[in-house]
Amino acid sequence: MLKFALVAVAVVAVVVVAVTNGVSTVVNGTQPAEGVTAQYRAVGCNASIGPWEGGGADKGRNDASRLNEEQRNIVAKIISIGQERKLPPLAWQIAIQAGMTESGLRSLNYGDRDSLGIFQMRPSMGWGSPAEVTNPDYAIRKFYEVLEKVPDWESRRPGDSAQAVERSAFPDRYHNWEAMAAFLISELGGVSDPAGCGQAVGNYLLASGAAATAIEFTKQQLGEPYLWGGNGPDQWDCSGILVKAFAEAGIKIPRVANDQYMSGGAHLPVREAKAGDLIFWATNPANPVTVHHVAMYLGNDEYIHAPQTGDVVKISKINWDYYELMPLAVRPGV
């Protein structure tokens, strides 16, 4: 049941960053390493707030498979109007979750008291006339209009933003449709990254919005010779090329490899790396000070790097079991 007044709600983040000894770590729902005392703060990336909790992609696909033609048409209209208003996929997801919770994604001509339409908007609370709020086009536009006024809606979990608009007495129920909404914006909205953090290059999911730019720059240097301390424009060392690559995307990272590992971004398990994340090798993987090489992961077990004197910038295959591979990757810009 909708009310016109809006109030802020607590931010709930599904993925958090653990700050350990000054190094931030992408936890993604897993526990920190044994013995690590962690303090948490929310990550700004939209991927940090959804959408694969409560059953994940399979749950989303199964829930979506039960929708009928009317419901899927409402979803398509939510996405279309969101695109028209130049709103990010996260907004579409919020509207889908709200609509599914309130009406089952149907434009109802009945509801609690005078609640009507997809989002059960109440004419008595100033949402519009009965004819307007039961018009899907009007209702969706009105929902987006109010959503955009919710403080920090882009940094909240989708269900919390839906609650901030709807003001329901049952705030947690919007989360039930998180995975389904994410699946639908992927299937019907053509969003290769339904988490909303980045985009895709070919078949590979990018680590962040900056990753595409950084990858493109680095690939343009393929074949350029290695030079220790090389900062370009046509000779590079392993860390120098990555400083320049992320600078092209507006992200500043430290100059040398071990500093890039320590403070170049958020950490995550190396086997969970996505395209654009940095991976590292060290003589003693238990001691970050001994990091001696860094590369950019591309997906499909491949990475791009400037290897050593006498070699050139190239793409190589990763050995995940190599004893010098550091256990964590780094995601710049997070």
The per-residue pLDDT for range 222-235, each reduced to its tens digit, is 999 999 999 999 99
Q: Is the pLDDT of residue 36 over 60?
A: no
More confident: 261 or 3: 261
Q: Is the pLDDT of residue 27 over 90?
A: no
Most confidently modeled of 23-32, 40-49, 80-89? 80-89
More confident: 54 or 129: 129
Q: What is the pLDDT of residue 198?
A: 43
Q: What is the pLDDT of residue 6?
A: 33
Give domain 202-331's CATH architecture.
Alpha-Beta Complex (3.90)
pTM above 0.75, yes or no: no
Domain limits, CATH 3.90.1720.10, in the chain: 202-331
The answer to whether 333 touches 245, Cβ cutoff 8 Å, is no
Q: What is the pLDDT of residue 191?
A: 67
Average pLDDT over residues 124-131: 96
Residue type, 113: R
Average pLDDT over residues 241-263: 93
Q: Is the pLDDT of residue 146 over 80?
A: yes
Q: Is the pLDDT of residue 193 over 70?
A: no
The phi-psi region of residue 264 (left if phi > 0; otherwise alpha if psi is between -120 and 50; otherwise beta) is alpha
Q: Is the pLDDT of residue 280 over 90?
A: yes
Average pLDDT over residues 37-48: 29
| Strand locations in the chain (E) | 16-20, 23-26, 39-42, 200-201, 204-205, 266-269, 278-282, 291-299, 302-305, 314-317, 328-331
